[in-house]
Chains A and B, each alone.
Chain A
Amino acid sequence: MITLTGVSKQFGKHWAVQGVDWTVPCGSIWGLLGHNGAGKSTIIGMILGHVRPSAGQISINGYDVRRQRSQALSRVGAIFETPAFYNYLSGLTNLRIFCEYSSIPSPERLQAAIRFVQLEDCIQNPVATYSHGMRQRLALAQALLPDPELLILDEPMNGLDPEGAYEMRNLIEKLNQEWGLTILLATHGLHEIQELCATVAVLQQGQLIFQGAWQTAPAQTLEEFYLETVRAAQRPPGLAV
Chain B
Amino acid sequence: MNLFFRQWRNELLKLCARRRTYLGLVGSVVAELIFLMLWRHPLAQRAFEKAVRGGSVEPNIFWDNYFHGLTIGLLMVTFSFLLLGGLYLALVAGDIIAKEVEDGTLSMILSRPVSRLRLWSLKWLTCSAYTFGLVFFMGLTSLLLASVFCGGLGKLAVVYGQHPRHLQLVSIFDTAEGLWRYGQGLLLLGVVMHVVSALAFMFSCFNLKPATAAIATLAVFFIDAVLKVVPFFIVFEKWLISYHLACWLRSFAKYEPAVDVGTSVCYLLALSGVFLGIGAVQFCRRDFKP
Contacts and interface: CB of A to CB of B under 8 A. Distances in A.
Contacts of A103: 3
Contacts of A142: 108
A171 to B, nearest CB: 18
B113 A71 contact: yes
A14 B103 CA distance: 25
Contact of B114 (A51, A101, A152): A101
Given A49-B110, A50-B287, A100-B10, 15 more contacts: A11-B287, A41-B289, A45-B288, A48-B110, A50-B110, A50-B111, A51-B290, A73-B112, A77-B111, A80-B104, A80-B107, A89-B13, A97-B14, A98-B108, A102-B112
B287 A51 contact: yes
Given A96-B10, A100-B3, A84 B103 contact: yes
B105 A86 contact: yes
Contacts of B104: 80, 82-84
A89 B105 CA distance: 13
Contacts of B288: 45, 50-51
B112 A98 contact: yes
Interface in B1-24: 3, 6-7, 10, 13-14, 17-19
Nearest to A152: B111
A166 interface: no
A229 B64 CA distance: 91
A42 B112 contact: no
A104 B113 contact: no
A84 B105 contact: yes
Nearest to A76: B111
B285 A52 contact: yes
Contacts, number: 95
A70 interface: yes
B112 A101 contact: yes
Nearest to B9: A100
Interface string A10-25: 0100000000000000
A235 B287 CA distance: 34
B60 interface: no
Main secondary structure of the interface of B (DSSP, over half): helix
Interface residues of B, number: 27
A149 interface: no
Contacts of A11: 287, 289
Contact of A42 (B7, B108, B110, B290): B290
Give the one of A42, A101, A142, A154 with max B CB within 10 A. A101
Contacts of B108: 78, 80, 83-85, 98, 139, 142
Nearest to B118: A101
Interface in A6-54: 11, 41-42, 44-45, 48-52
Contacts of B219: none
Given A44-B290, A97-B13, A102 B113 contact: yes
A93 B17 CA distance: 11
26 contacts: A41-B289, A45-B288, A48-B110, A50-B107, A50-B287, A52-B285, A52-B287, A70-B115, A73-B111, A73-B112, A74-B113, A82-B104, A83-B104, A83-B108, A84-B105, A84-B108, A85-B108, A86-B14, A86-B105, A97-B10, A98-B112, A100-B6, A100-B7, A101-B112, A101-B114, A102-B113
B3 A104 contact: yes
Interface string B95-122: 0000000011101111111110001000
B282 to A, nearest CB: 13
A41 B290 contact: yes
A192 B146 CA distance: 66
A72 interface: yes
A12 to B, nearest CB: 11
Contacts of A85: 105, 108
A88 interface: yes
A86 B17 CA distance: 10
Give the one of B10, B17, B290 with max A CB within 10 A. B290
A45 B17 contact: no
Q: Which 6 A-B pairs have the closest CB atoms?
A: A84-B104, A73-B113, A78-B111, A41-B290, A101-B112, A50-B288
A76 B114 CA distance: 12
Nearest to A142: B108
A133 interface: no
Interface in A75-133: 76-78, 80, 82-86, 88-89, 93, 96-98, 100-104
